[in-house]
């Protein structure tokens, strides 16, 4: 298996001293040791698991830590127990019971004996890079093999499934692996590849693992969904509501891959949707005019393409065209200070059901009923379908297809028409 060159990961690796503390003795002994390497395999990913925190708690047996970076006060620490890490002056400070044991621009942590390291109570396989370069606080990046990463992703993304769900888990493993690998060429100059949140894929480390999902990762090991010979950007969402979204209208600012133009979520010759059994298949939301205006005053300025002037009332709401999958392409909010248009999936982030800081709207597959009085919107009622952006694989549909006897390959090629599945490693 080939490795990334050092030109790709430009870091100064310097020798350092390691403090070693055994479980049997309290005395601390200095020992020379090789620094934990920042080299990674072609299938390793760097996952941002903590971002700009004030403090990080590290817990593990026999942790090895190495300072990395030119001009650092290099040192090291090894042993067991709890360490604290903080950012200070653009550097990482590692402390044991309030005493500083290491200070460096970057610190690499590696568990002994193939175990895992706990960061703020969550266990992670692989290695952990601590860095202060992402902002004013301290961040933690998990360097981990793609398949170990997927073990902590699948249950968090598609659920802890039972019954005839093997094909759904395998399809999710293929989609998640392909999505992750498709991003690596874009992130070489950044200190991480993926976030451990819905902004990429939800990843909960060792605590998120589940044996049936792990088996699906192992069953599909090395296999990747490809488009024109490269790992495909295989987006997916919880429930499509009957038809997956066309990326061109849902995310007009993203690359419009042909295999992401939307498909009907049903089998050949059938009209009922695979995802019809989902609790998100259909739903309703209501806003009063005052509540809607209160939410939009906070959400519109961040997501509207035009400058939003202060306003008090929503006078009207105009719908743009619907795409062929039924999703609204744009909404224009007419206020007493001007008209403001929001396009595609950003509608979900503006039109929040509960509050400006609460959950986003489930989908843009919407039918709107606007009630007006005295020249302003008095009430907005929405009938919606699906949950998520709707682009790519529908997880609820994939689960039902699995229960109906479809294979993982059939599921993948239903939701991503025209792709191939190839062995990548």
Residues 6 or more apart whose CB falls under 8 angstroms from that of 238 comprise 278, 280, 386, 387, 388, 394, 395, 396
What is residue 405's predicted lDDT score, i.e. its pLDDT? 97
- What is the distance between the alpha carbons of residues 384 and 50, in angstroms, rounded to a whole number? 34
Residues 6 or more apart whose CB falls under 8 angstroms from that of 232 comprise 178, 182, 224, 225, 226, 257, 259, 416, 419
Q: Name the band, by pLDDT with cuts 50, 70 and 90, for residue 16.
A: very low
What is residue 38's predicted lDDT score, i.e. its pLDDT? 61
Asked if residues 156 and 203 have their Cβ atoms less than 8 Å apart, the reply is yes
- What is the distance between the alpha carbons of residues 248 and 343, in angstroms, rounded to a whole number? 11
pLDDT in tens, 191-211: 999 999 999 999 999 999 999
Helical axes 166-183 vs 395-403, angle rounded to 10°: 140
What is residue 18's predicted lDDT score, i.e. its pLDDT? 34
Residue found under tokens 């925190």 = 53
What is residue 90's predicted lDDT score, i.e. its pLDDT? 84
Cα 113 from chain centroid?
A: 29
- What is the distance between the alpha carbons of residues 130 and 382, in angstroms, rounded to a whole number? 45
The pLDDT of 301-313, averaged and rounded, is: 94
The pLDDT of 4-20, averaged and rounded, is: 32
Q: Which of 112-126, 245-259, 334-348, 389-403 has the lowest mean pLDDT?
A: 112-126
Comparing CA positions, the residue from 383, 20, 23, 397 lying closest to residue 175 is: 397
pLDDT in tens, 75-128: 456 667 788 999 888 888 888 888 887 788 888 888 877 789 999 999 999 999
What is residue 5's predicted lDDT score, i.e. its pLDDT? 34
pLDDT in tens, 144-157: 999 999 999 999 99
What is residue 111's predicted lDDT score, i.e. its pLDDT? 84
Q: What is the mean pLDDT of the chain?
A: 87
Cα 24 from chain centroid?
A: 41
The pLDDT of 329-336, averaged and rounded, is: 96
Three-class SS string for 165-178?
Answer: CHHHHHHHHHHHHH
The pLDDT of 272-285, averaged and rounded, is: 97
Helices (H), 131-201: 146-151, 154-158, 166-183
pLDDT in tens, 348-395: 999 999 999 999 999 999 999 999 999 999 999 999 999 999 999 999
pLDDT in tens, 310-320: 999 999 999 99
Residue 69 scores a pLDDT above 50: no
What is residue 78's predicted lDDT score, i.e. its pLDDT? 65
Q: Is 88 left (phi over 0), alpha (psi -120 to 50) or beta?
A: beta
């Amino acid at each position: 298996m080939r490795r990334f060159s050092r030109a790709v990961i430009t870091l100064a690796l310097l020798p350092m001293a390691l403090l070693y503390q055994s479980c049997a003795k309290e005395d601390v002994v200095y020992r020379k040791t090789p620094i934990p390497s920042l080299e990674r395999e072609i299938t390793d990913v760097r996952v941002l698991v903590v971002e700009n925190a004030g403090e990080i708690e590290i817990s593990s047996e026999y942790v090895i830590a190495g300072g990395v970076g030119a001009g650092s006060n290099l040192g090291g620490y090894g042993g067991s127990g709890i360490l604290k890490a903080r950012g200070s002056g653009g550097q990482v400070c590692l402390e044991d019971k309030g005493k500083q044991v290491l200070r460096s621009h970057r610190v690499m942590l590696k568990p002994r004996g193939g175990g895992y390291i706990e960061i703020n109570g969550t266990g992670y396989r692989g290695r952990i890079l601590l860095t202060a370069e992402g902002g004013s606080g301290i961040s933690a990046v998990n360097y981990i093999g793609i398949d170990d990463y997927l073990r902590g992703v699948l249950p968090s993304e598609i659920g802890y499934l039972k019954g005839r769900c093997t094909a759904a888990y395998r399809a999710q493993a293929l989609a998640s692996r392909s999505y992750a690998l498709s991003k690596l060429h874009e992130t070489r100059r950044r200190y991480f590849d993926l976030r451990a949140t819905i902004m990429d894929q939800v990843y909960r480390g060792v605590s998120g693992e589940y044996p049936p999902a792990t088996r699906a990762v192992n069953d599909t090991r090395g296999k990747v969904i490809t488009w024109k010979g490269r790992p495909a950007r295989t987006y997916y969402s919880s429930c499509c509501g009957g038809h997956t979204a066309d990326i061109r209208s849902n995310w007009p600012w993203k690359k419009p891959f042909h295999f992401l133009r939307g498909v009907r979520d049903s089998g050949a010759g059938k009209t009922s949707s695979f995802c019809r059994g989902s609790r998100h298949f259909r739903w309703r939301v209501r806003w009063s005019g005052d509540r809607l205006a209160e939410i939009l005053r906070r959400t519109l300025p961040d997501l509207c393409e035009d400058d939003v002037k202060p306003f008090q009332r929503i006078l009207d709401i105009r719908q743009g065209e619907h795409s062929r999958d039924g999703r609204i392409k744009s909404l224009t909010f007419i206020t007493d200070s001007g008209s403001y248009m929001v396009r595609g999936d950003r509608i979900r982030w503006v039109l929040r059901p509960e509050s400006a800081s609460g959950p986003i709207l489930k989908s843009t597959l919407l039918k709107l009923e606007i009630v007006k009085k005295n020249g302003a919107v008095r009430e907005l009622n929405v009938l919606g379908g699906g949950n998520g952006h709707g682009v790519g694989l529908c997880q609820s549909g994939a689960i039902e297809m699995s229960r109906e006897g479809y294979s993982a390959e059939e599921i993948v090629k239903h939701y991503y028409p025209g792709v191939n599945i190839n062995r990548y490693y």
